[in-house]
């Protein structure tokens, strides 16, 4: 039996449990930093010791007029309520952390094929915006690319439902 494949067409991106409907793409990363244990008398490294864990994500948002990332409203169907995805300058020190999830929007579970229903594929905790860029070209759709740092990233095997 084939395993169901997660696709971008089934993906939905949420920040603080609000759907971000105009997102062109999201990417995430988990990284473990290792330091080598190097000893006298041996040329080779004896072992690698984990010393840090890092999680990050980035997202490309379509630039909506009157809905900047500093006061994101979303669209008429899914109002994000003026959420601050990227903090305004005067709020950088007090902006607080967010949560972010990438969800599989597949409808209900199918017991015949074994396909799961809607579920969280990746969850990022204690997320903070770190940078944002944008590009305007003569014939292109404008996107704002925002990078985030996070304390932790979990996939569906680690998320308590």
Residue pLDDT, tens place only, 16-60: 988 887 888 999 999 999 999 999 999 999 999 999 999 999 999
Residue pLDDT, tens place only, 87-121: 999 999 998 999 999 998 876 556 666 655 678 99
For 6-13, the CB contacts below 8 A with 24+ separation are 6/104, 6/121, 10/104, 10/105, 10/106, 11/102, 11/103, 11/104, 11/105, 11/121, 12/102, 12/103, 12/104, 12/105, 13/59, 13/100, 13/101, 13/102, 13/103
pLDDT confidence bin for 134, thresholds 50/70/90: very high
Q: Mean pLDDT across the chain, nearest whole number?
A: 86
CATH class of 8-155: mainly beta
- Give the whole-angstrom CA distance, residue 27 versus residue 55: 11
pLDDT confidence bin for 73, thresholds 50/70/90: confident
pLDDT at 50: 98
pLDDT at 77: 52
**Residue boundaries of the structural domains of the chain:** 8-155
A 10 A CB-CB count for 156 gives 14
């Amino acid at each position: 039996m084939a395993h169901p494949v997660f696709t971008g067409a089934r993906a939905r991106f949420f920040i603080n449990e609000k759907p971000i409907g105009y997102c062109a793409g999201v990417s995430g990363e988990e990284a473990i930093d290792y330091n080598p244990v190097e000893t006298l008398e041996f040329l080779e490294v004896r072992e690698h010791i984990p010393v840090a864990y890092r999680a990050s994500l980035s997202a490309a948002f379509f630039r909506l007029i009157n809905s900047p990332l500093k006061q994101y409203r979303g669209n008429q169907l899914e109002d994000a309520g003026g959420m601050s995805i990227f903090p305004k300058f005067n709020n950088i020190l007090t902006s607080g952390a967010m949560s972010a999830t990438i969800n599989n929007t597949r409808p209900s579970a199918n017991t015949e094929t074994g396909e799961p229903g809607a579920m969280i594929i990746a969850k990022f905790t204690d997320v903070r915006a770190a940078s944002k860029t944008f590009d305007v070209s003569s014939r292109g759709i404008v996107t704002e690319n925002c990078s985030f740092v996070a304390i932790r990233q979990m996939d569906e095997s680690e998320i308590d439902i």
